[in-house]
Chains A and B, each alone.
Chain A
């Protein structure tokens, strides 16, 4: 314990302290016990301190601030900010624009998660064997992930340009009226969703490729020998093995549907006529355009609560599955 002056012995010395702490009789006064535990883990906390400080300052500090801001508001522009309790939350829930954003976001979440997961699974199944061709194809499918969403959105702006864009240039020959992809409230949200699917399918493919590695070869071989058709093998062996992957990817896709919506900021600003207004953009509008920090914070809290509940639920069921027989 004393020979910490030499470098190499630091790490060896620390674990040695733990059994000592553990062997203290349990009847000892509670304070002493706490302090001795603390003493033992103090170096660990000190080493963690820089990260903890930054985490506290920039993550939890900000969240705390949002929580506080959500409870305050001002009645008129010159009036002082005062405590209003849940008024901001109620105002957000009563705001038809928020309801619209939630509905849009639900459509967006379902409409992006299902196709991108289906495509990802399809890609993974097709490219599960490793050889030069599949490696090249995997890289090609993964490429959209490497392009930042803002850059991708700028690219797609040109693809979607009415009349002269890439899409209208080719599809336009077939259609009687050229669609105004981002300028028509009936189409704009779908156009935005196409980008998300294009961007995320390759990313989710990686998880499925990893998941496929865990499908036991001997079971597959046995099924093969027993004369199971490819569909039967897929339905009864591969899919059950991929269940945890599905759950994980679904959670990620849902979180992405709320948090990764840069294209709305770049391409449509929630328009036309709020057709692509998603929850995150609604928060931005409240904070920036309406300059209503209270309502923006309240909307953030609501979103955060839903996302955390969703994540907790899915990971609990994931843990249950893993822990089960």
Chain B
């Protein structure tokens, strides 16, 4: 009968749609999930990189799958793990690793490193020491640093000269930068026409900047050894938030309210803010768009010079077949090799985590041409891990919501930090109940 014949055809087609993976055997096929946290050109660069990998590794066929922002990448990776089809490798925001490890979603890389005949110390030794903290959990390696950043101070050199300041001697302490910001702010009566300094505050960025300021004030944001503690209600963070609040409310050299990263960089590029604190990841953008001479410098200190790292690591999700795991490991080692690491750094503005990348001739030449890219690398001397706790994002958000209230003049720093600490402790409770507070 015609009807049933059509039906059969339909069913066959539906079957073919449902099981496309049954066709063909050959090189081991692996997926790499990658986010594009900055501008769109990166997706094309990633395509170039993976094409080269496939040409040089005929037994592996890697496919780069664009998965949106860092947050989206986490969602999609978790969804794929739940569906039983995890991608072979993922470029994951470096501070999500601990949370994923707690949820048993990561492959411990120790055995893969050992199979290559290397010790953990040798393997990690390739990367800047500041990056180890976010890659190693309980003395096991779970991530390989891929592209990283630190916060930097950007200065509009033209404005500085106008105000009688020497851009070649950038401010080094909070006292100096406050003074600079006052001199750089332009007023028309009560109205500010140019801000002395801009510091971004939106979810994600705000927490990172709070960690930056707290660290330069001698403090720590969280317990680097244990995911169940954050230090919000402490003198060092109170000093950090009070200073930021003073820039807004007392000195009036920083625009009120919460300003996201892109708004801060636009403000700087358009000459509306004379200084800004922003990621090294924005360096390429500033270099390409600033129509004035600019300088980059270390984040000034109140107590000590210290900054957190940012950026992403390559991970292998849990629950992968052995051959795919091996193929993913080959891909990861290739992508983090000095040559590729350096190439990616020049394309994006992030610094290359592999120290040997800075010895390659291409990189030496690039740094000679763009000395500002070197500041980020130099600052790594004083860099420390990015906060990572159980439920990193909600725990971070408890602080950010309160900081936003302070910057909008709705709360005082002390009461804000007390509230943030209370909310964070509440979120961390289940983890602590199972670890530090689980007593014999």
A residues near B (Cβ < 8 Å) are 4-5, 7, 10, 43, 46, 49-50, 53, 75-79, 157, 161-164, 176-178, 180, 182-186, 269-274, 285, 287-291
Asked, given contacts A180-B258, A289-B397, whether A75 binds B430 with beta carbons under 8 Å apart, the answer is yes
Q: Which residues of B contact A77 (CB under 8 A)?
A: 102-103, 390, 430-431, 434
Contact of A164 among B102, B272, B410 (CB under 8 A): B272
Asked, given contacts A271-B202, A271-B404, A289-B397, whether A162 binds B255 with beta carbons under 8 Å apart, the answer is yes
In the bound assembly, the distance between CA atoms of A75 and B174 in angstroms comes to 45
Q: Judge whether B203 is part of the interface by a CB distance below 8 angstroms.
A: yes
Q: Which residues of B contact A287 (CB under 8 A)?
A: 75
Q: Which residues of B contact A78 (CB under 8 A)?
A: 434
- Residues of B63-79 whose CB lies within 8 A of A: 71, 74-75, 78
Q: Output the nearest chain A residue to B427 by Cβ-Cβ distance.
A: A290
A272 touches B263 (CB 8 A): no
A46-B7, A183-B260 given. 4 additional CB < 8 A pairs? A49-B7, A161-B266, A162-B257, A185-B410
Min C-beta distance of A9 to chain B, whole Å:
10
Contact of A291 among B3, B14, B391, B404 (CB under 8 A): B391
- Residues of B328-372 whose CB lies within 8 A of A: none
Asked, given contacts A46-B7, A289-B397, whether A180 binds B405 with beta carbons under 8 Å apart, the answer is no
Contact of B272 among A43, A163, A180 (CB under 8 A): A163
Q: Output the nearest chain A residue to B393 by Cβ-Cβ distance.
A: A289
Which 9 pairs across A and B sit closest by C-beta, in order of nearness?
A180-B257, A183-B257, A272-B404, A183-B258, A289-B393, A76-B434, A272-B258, A273-B401, A273-B404
Contact of B2 among A10, A49, A270, A288 (CB under 8 A): A10
B255 touches A163 (CB 8 A): yes
Q: Output the nearest chain B residue to A43 by Cβ-Cβ distance.
A: B3
Q: Which residues of A contact B167 (CB under 8 A)?
A: none
Q: Judge whether B412 is part of the interface by a CB distance below 8 angstroms.
A: no
B257 touches A184 (CB 8 A): yes
A180 touches B255 (CB 8 A): yes
A162 touches B263 (CB 8 A): yes
Q: Judge whether B191 is part of the interface by a CB distance below 8 angstroms.
A: yes
- Residues of B187-207 whose CB lies within 8 A of A: 190-191, 195, 201-203
Asked, given contacts A50-B10, A75-B430, A162-B257, whether A157 binds B270 with beta carbons under 8 Å apart, the answer is no
Q: Which residues of B contact A157 (CB under 8 A)?
A: 262
Contact with A along B3-15 (1 / 0, CB 8 A): 1000100100010
Min C-beta distance of B411 to chain A, whole Å:
9
In the bound assembly, the distance between CA atoms of A78 and B430 in angstroms comes to 10
Asked, given contacts A46-B7, A77-B434, A164-B272, whether A269 binds B404 with beta carbons under 8 Å apart, the answer is no
B2 touches A53 (CB 8 A): no
B2 touches A5 (CB 8 A): yes
Asked, given contacts A5-B2, A162-B259, whether A271 binds B431 with beta carbons under 8 Å apart, the answer is no
B431 touches A76 (CB 8 A): yes
A271 touches B400 (CB 8 A): yes
Q: Which residues of A contact B14 (CB under 8 A)?
A: 50, 53
Q: Judge whether B80 is part of the interface by a CB distance below 8 angstroms.
A: no
Q: Which residues of B contact A269 (CB under 8 A)?
A: 202-203
B74 touches A272 (CB 8 A): no
Contact of B263 among A10, A79, A161 (CB under 8 A): A161
B202 touches A4 (CB 8 A): no
In the bound assembly, the distance between CA atoms of A4 and B430 in angstroms comes to 67
Q: Output the nearest chain B residue to A275 by Cβ-Cβ distance.
A: B404
Q: What range describes how many residues of B lie at the interface?
A: 35 or more
Q: Output the nearest chain A residue to B404 by Cβ-Cβ distance.
A: A272
In the bound assembly, the distance between CA atoms of A148 and B140 in angstroms comes to 45
Q: Which residues of A contact B266 (CB under 8 A)?
A: 161, 164
Q: Which residues of B contact A274 (CB under 8 A)?
A: 401
Min C-beta distance of B230 to chain A, whole Å:
16
Asked, given contacts A76-B430, A164-B266, whether A272 binds B391 with beta carbons under 8 Å apart, the answer is no
In the bound assembly, the distance between CA atoms of A7 and B1 in angstroms comes to 11
Best-buried of B262, B390, B408, B433 by chain A (most CB within 10 Å) = B408
Contact of A7 among B2, B103, B190 (CB under 8 A): B2
Asked, given contacts A4-B2, A269-B202, A271-B401, whether A176 binds B190 with beta carbons under 8 Å apart, the answer is yes
Q: Which residues of A contact B75 (CB under 8 A)?
A: 287-288
Return 6 A-B CB contacts under 8 Å, by A number.
A163-B267, A180-B258, A183-B201, A183-B257, A273-B410, A291-B78
In the bound assembly, the distance between CA atoms of A184 and B2 in angstroms comes to 66
Contact of A288 among B71, B262, B263, B408 (CB under 8 A): B71
Contact of B191 among A10, A177, A285 (CB under 8 A): A177
Q: Which residues of B contact A49 (CB under 8 A)?
A: 7
A272 touches B3 (CB 8 A): no
In the bound assembly, the distance between CA atoms of A183 and B203 in angstroms comes to 11
B71 touches A272 (CB 8 A): no
A272 touches B434 (CB 8 A): no
In the bound assembly, the distance between CA atoms of A290 and B397 in angstroms comes to 11
Min C-beta distance of B342 to chain A, whole Å:
32
Q: Judge whether B239 is part of the interface by a CB distance below 8 angstroms.
A: no
In the bound assembly, the distance between CA atoms of A178 and B266 in angstroms comes to 16
Q: Judge whether B394 is part of the interface by a CB distance below 8 angstroms.
A: yes
In the bound assembly, the distance between CA atoms of A155 and B272 in angstroms comes to 20
Min C-beta distance of A237 to chain B, whole Å:
49
Q: Judge whether B256 is part of the interface by a CB distance below 8 angstroms.
A: yes
Q: Output the nearest chain B residue to A277 by Cβ-Cβ distance.
A: B401
Min C-beta distance of B81 to chain A, whole Å:
12
B195 touches A163 (CB 8 A): yes
In the bound assembly, the distance between CA atoms of A153 and B177 in angstroms comes to 35
Min C-beta distance of B256 to chain A, whole Å:
6
In the bound assembly, the distance between CA atoms of A178 and B102 in angstroms comes to 45
B195 touches A176 (CB 8 A): no
- Residues of B381-432 whose CB lies within 8 A of A: 390-391, 393-394, 397, 400-402, 404-405, 407-408, 410, 430-431
In the bound assembly, the distance between CA atoms of A85 and B229 in angstroms comes to 31
A184 touches B408 (CB 8 A): yes
Q: Which residues of B contact A176 (CB under 8 A)?
A: 190-191
A290 touches B203 (CB 8 A): no
Best-buried of B257, B273, B394, B405 by chain A (most CB within 10 Å) = B257
In the bound assembly, the distance between CA atoms of A78 and B400 in angstroms comes to 28
Q: Which residues of A contact B267 (CB under 8 A)?
A: 161-164
